[in-house]
Amino acid sequence: MMVERSQVTRNFIRNAIQPDLRSIPHITQHIISQLKYHNITTTDQIVGYFFSFNRSQMLFVSFLKELGIDEQFSIFLGEQLGHKFQTI
């Protein structure tokens, strides 16, 4: 059974990347604080890391987990970026 994506998630996949980390669906202030601790302050930086791993969701998720980011959110974000950039 496929899980239907929320409108917020669909918008994130379809629309241009917004620099503010709060534009990422389901991100919490705690996750933003963890990212900022590691000098990741924009969504563009997150996307850059995703591309630095050649769009490998597995490597990207491992990277986020190494930073202490929640595994469930890391998997979610990797999947969403994979959908967003599947044709690039």
Q: Is residue 35 part of a domain?
A: yes
d(CA 57, CA 82): 7
If one counts the domains in the chain, the total is: 1
63 found inside a domain: yes
Given this model, what pLDDT does residue 7 score? Answer: 84
Asked whether residue 18 is assigned to any structural domain, the reply reads: no
Q: Is the pLDDT of residue 4 over 60?
A: no
Q: Is residue 61 part of a domain?
A: yes
3: pLDDT strictly greater than 70: no
Q: Is the pLDDT of residue 88 over 70?
A: no
Reference 82, options 30, 28, 9; nearest CA is 9
Exposure b/e, 10-34, CB count within 10 A at least 16 = b: eebbeeebeeebebbbebeeebbeb
Residue 13 lies in a domain: no
Segment (H or E) for 35: helix 29-37
pLDDT in tens, 11-56: 888 889 999 999 999 999 999 999 999 999 999 999 999 999 999 9
Residue 48 resides in a domain = yes
Whole-model pTM: value is 0.85
